[in-house]
Amino acid sequence: MGEDTLGTVGEDGLVASVLARYPAAPAVVRVGPGDDAAVLDLAGPVVVSTDTLVEGQDFRFDWSTGTEVGVKTAAQNLADVAAMGARPVALLVSLAAPAHLPAGWARDLADGLADECTRAGASVVGGDVSAASEVVLTGTALGVLEGGRAPLLRSGARAGDVVALAGGTGSSAAGLALLLAGRGRTGRPEDAALDGLVTAHVAPRPPYAAGPAAAQAGASALIDTSDGLLRDAERLATSSGVVVDLDPATLAPGDALLAAARALGAADAEAAAARGLQWVLSGGEDHALLGCFPPEAVLPAPFRAVGVVRAVADGGPPGVLVGGLPWAGPTGWHHFR
């Protein structure tokens, strides 16, 4: 017999098999998945965000397993909640897919969703399934602001603040470059560093706890670097009416990025460093958290200082500098270009 597909197992069979893969929900979930709607028992302000992944645009079947797509779906949604200084609590996921999609892939997807939600301290509490000509996943994440804290917005940075980063940038972009060049994961010990970059692209692991930690430490602004460090730093700078000046010495590419640059044809150490820095500055989908902190604040782990916030020059626009100078290269991902 051939492998089960969504068409053979049907909607109810798929939902039942997926729900069986999710762990028991915590007490905050009064009614979990399986009813018409979930019921959550939350206190205080609720942070809500949504994100969509489309087959061929955000993931490819020849690059990613169903589990990894599940991890990526959860990560993209939950990271936005953490970027508001909130603790992720719940995730709803809608799957639209063709009838010929293997049911095993959808079950693997559920495993990835459950794994990353558990890592973030959240639960899958519901969703929907529908037929479509391609696979489309839409998640809606919910989080809570604890201790009566206000949400961390992009608009709160002030001149003199320290710019700090939790998590790394560039790994996902390097992994994508390797995949586009036909260099997938080999599993060989000598390729572990490059394989890790590919995994960072197909299944990112954001530093969720850094969001609430930033809020507790008195951060003035925070943003998820989903579209690239420079692009999202520019969004923060524009919203705050300031200049974000990044220190390139603190953002030097690590050994794995340099190895990827060499594997992709960088002629010498200088060329490898330049390509690595480009990934660090403009590569998206790492979901690191970029924050601004008053100069007297103690940076919480895992944040590290990577720059400073400056006032705009007389008559000048807000924006981003790298080492005090404008950046001439690409700044990040633009969906409709």
Q: Which of 18-22, 232-236, 303-307, 315-319 has the lowest mean pLDDT?
A: 18-22
Same-domain status, 252 and 312: yes
Same-domain status, 127 and 196: no
- The per-residue pLDDT for 3 is 78
Same-domain status, 195 and 301: yes
**Tens of pLDDT, residues 50-79:** 999 999 999 999 999 999 999 999 999 999
User: Does any domain span residue 155?
Assistant: no
Same-domain status, 135 and 262: no
Same-domain status, 167 and 316: yes
How many domains would you assign to the chain? 2
- Cα(266)–Cα(315) distance, integer angstroms: 41
Summarize the confidence of residues 75-98 as an average pLDDT: 97
Residue 331: pLDDT band (50, 70, 90) is: confident
Residue 24 structural domain: 6-144
- The per-residue pLDDT for 208 is 98
**Tens of pLDDT, residues 277-292:** 999 999 999 999 999 9
Q: Specify the pTM.
A: 0.92
Kind of pairing between the strands at 46-54 and 136-144 = antiparallel
Same-domain status, 126 and 225: no
Summarize the confidence of residues 302-318 as an average pLDDT: 94
Task: Name which of 218, 223, 179 is nearest 201 in CA terms.
Answer: 179
**Tens of pLDDT, residues 122-147:** 999 999 999 999 999 999 999 999 98
- The per-residue pLDDT for 334 is 65
- The per-residue pLDDT for 37 is 83
User: Does any domain span residue 334?
Assistant: no
Residue 28: pLDDT band (50, 70, 90) is: confident
The rounded mean pLDDT for the chain is 94
User: Does any domain span residue 330?
Assistant: no
Is 28 or 215 the better-scoring residue by pLDDT?
Answer: 215
Residue 337 has pLDDT above 70, yes or no: no
Same-domain status, 167 and 314: yes
Task: Name which of 167, 179, 190, 309 is nearest 243 in CA terms.
Answer: 309
> Which tokens go with 262?
């060499």
The crossing angle, in degrees rounded to 10, of helices 269-282 and 171-180 is 110
Residue 316 has pLDDT above 90, yes or no: no
Kind of pairing between the strands at 123-131 and 87-97 = parallel
Same-domain status, 185 and 218: yes
**Tens of pLDDT, residues 147-175:** 889 999 999 999 999 999 999 999 999 99
Same-domain status, 76 and 214: no
Residue 113 has pLDDT above 80, yes or no: yes
User: Does any domain span residue 151?
Assistant: no
Q: What is the CATH number of the domain that holds 240?
A: 3.90.650.10
User: Does any domain span residue 335?
Assistant: no
User: Does any domain span residue 154?
Assistant: no
